[in-house]
């Protein structure tokens, strides 16, 4: 049976890297990219593969169950890699309902349509990509494991936790062939500049304030997005059904140390006097329910599937900064809304 994979959220940051990897690596697969094209979805993320014969873009919303049913029937979808989600914590605090509807109801729609379409047939995979934020907050020691109890602290993480539980429930109740992964913070090219690393790069370049929550001591584990895409590939093809895999970069940094490191790198790249960019750092009121520390133990995926990160964080950070400094037109595009014009010109 030829694989016809529906990748949801494939025009977004992580999704676009996954789509590009699968289109290039598996020419015998038909890859269908379903994306609503919200502010964080941008088809210019995919220009290098948009004309490949095995790539197909579909504009649509996972909140529309009838639309999903039509896609499964018309395209003969055999597998799902589900990345579509509202993902920014701050936005979930100011407007939680969109997160609840997209992340929970949208996932339930996909599960129901897959269950109905596949009718307990074998050789299908429903792969759900989630976040380490479902586990809550760690203290100074320890790591998140695949069996760590869930303790979400924001509307975003609660919505992702709920979707994880739904996916597992469909495995146990209906024998739907599922896989789940929970990843740490991603960084790399093509990330919408509301997230920390591209925000800092863009603000430094434009001599704007660098907002840091609280005292900046919150710790995050950073994963290069292309390594994450490789991990998704490994789990999709070699992971066990019903299993969860944690994906992390073994790169813990406090927010303030990360921002200072970026300031130093960009002082050099922009030809500024050392210490110039650090003067832009501005401490702001801490985020409500701000988790103190995330850290993933990625031993399971390493031992069982042979995946390890390919880059040290400092190397990945330099690559990321270089990409944003060399692609100012991309940042201008995504922050100005020109992606809608691009869609109209290429796909309507």
Q: What is the pLDDT of residue 337?
A: 57
Q: What is the pLDDT of residue 341?
A: 55
Q: How many CA atoms lie within 13 A of 64 on its CB side?
A: 13
Helix boundaries (H) for the chain: 13-25, 65-75, 89-94, 96-99, 106-118, 155-174, 196-205, 225-238, 255-269, 299-305, 313-326, 328-336, 339-347
Asked, for residue 343, whether it belongs to a domain, the answer is no
Query: How many angstroms separate the CA atoms of 74 and 312, rounded?
Result: 44
282 inside domain: no
Q: What is the pLDDT of residue 42?
A: 87
In a domain, 261, yes or no: no
Q: Report yes or no on 308 lying in a domain.
A: yes
Give the Cα separation of 28 and 201 in Å (integer). 38
- Which range marks the domain in which residue 102 is found? 4-190+222-252+291-314
pLDDT, residue 96, reads 94
Task: Give the span between the Cα atoms of 320 and 90, in whole angstroms.
Answer: 23
State pTM to two decimals.
0.93
The predicted pLDDT at position 45 comes to: 93
**Element (H or E) spanning 105, and its range?**
none
On whether residue 245 sits in a domain, the answer given is yes
Place of tokens 């040290």: 312
Report pLDDT for 157.
Answer: 95
Q: 124 in a domain, yes or no?
A: yes
86 Cβ contact partners less than 8 Å away, ≥ 6 residues apart = 38, 92, 98, 99, 102, 103, 156, 159
Give the DSSP per-residue string, 73-100.
HHHT--EEEE------HHHHHH-HHHHI
CB 13 within 8 A of CB 191: yes
Known catalytic residue at 322: no
| Terminal Cα distance for the chain, rounded | 31
Residue 212's beta-bridge partner residues? Answer: 283
Note if 133 is an active site residue: yes
Q: Is residue 323 part of a domain?
A: no
Ranges of the chain with pLDDT below 50: 339-340, 342-343, 346-348
For residue 345, what pLDDT is reported? Answer: 57
Q: Which one, of 298, 293, 294, lies nearest residue 246 by Cα?
A: 298
Active site residue 50: no
Single out the catalytic residue among 30, 132, 164, 227.
132
Which position among 30, 35, 86, 133 bears the catalytic label?
Answer: 133
Number of separate domains in the chain: 1
The CATH number that applies at residue 32 is 3.40.50.720
Question: Does residue 76 fall inside a structural domain?
Answer: yes
Which is the catalytic residue, given 32, 55, 135, 156? 156
């Amino acid at each position: 049976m030829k694989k016809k994979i529906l990748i949801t959220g494939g025009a977004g940051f992580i999704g676009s890297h996954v789509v590009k990897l699968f289109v290039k690596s598996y020419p015998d697969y038909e890859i269908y990219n379903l994306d609503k094209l919200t502010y964080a979805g941008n088809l210019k993320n995919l220009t290098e593969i948009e004309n490949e014969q095995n790539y197909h873009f579909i504009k649509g919303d996972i909140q529309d169950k009838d639309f999903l049913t039509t896609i499964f029937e018309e395209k003969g979808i055999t597998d799902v890699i589900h990345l579509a989600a509202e993902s920014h914590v701050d936005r979930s605090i100011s407007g939680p309902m969109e997160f609840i509807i997209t992340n929970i109801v949208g996932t339930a729609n996909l599960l129901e349509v897959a269950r109905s379409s596949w009718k307990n047939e074998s050789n299908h995979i429903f792969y759900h990509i989630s976040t380490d934020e479902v586990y809550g907050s760690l203290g100074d020691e320890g790591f998140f494991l695949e069996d760590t109890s869930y303790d979400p602290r924001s509307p975003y993480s609660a919505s992702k936790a709920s979707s994880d539980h739904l996916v597992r429930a469909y495995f146990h109740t209906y024998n739907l062939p599922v896989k789940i992964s929970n990843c740490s913070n991603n960084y790399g090219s093509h990330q919408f500049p509301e997230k920390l690393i591209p925000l800092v790069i863009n603000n430094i370049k434009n001599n704007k304030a660098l907002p840091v929550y609280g005292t900046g001591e919150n710790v995050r584990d950073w994963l290069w997005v292309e390594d994450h895409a490789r991990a998704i590939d490994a789990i999709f093809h070699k992971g066990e059904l019903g299993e969860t895999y944690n994906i992390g970069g073994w790169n813990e940094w406090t927010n303030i140390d990360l921002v200072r490191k970026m300031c130093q790198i960009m002082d050099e790249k922009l030809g500024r006097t050392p210490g110039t960019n650090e003067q832009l750092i501005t401490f702001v009121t801490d985020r409500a329910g701000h988790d103190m520390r995330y850290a993933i133990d990625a031993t399971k995926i390493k031992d069982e599937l042979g995946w390890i990160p390919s880059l040290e964080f400092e190397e990945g950070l330099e690559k990321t900064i270089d990409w944003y400094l060399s692609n100012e037109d991309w940042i201008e595009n995504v922050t100005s809304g020109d992606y809608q014009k691009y869609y109209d010109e290429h796909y309507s």
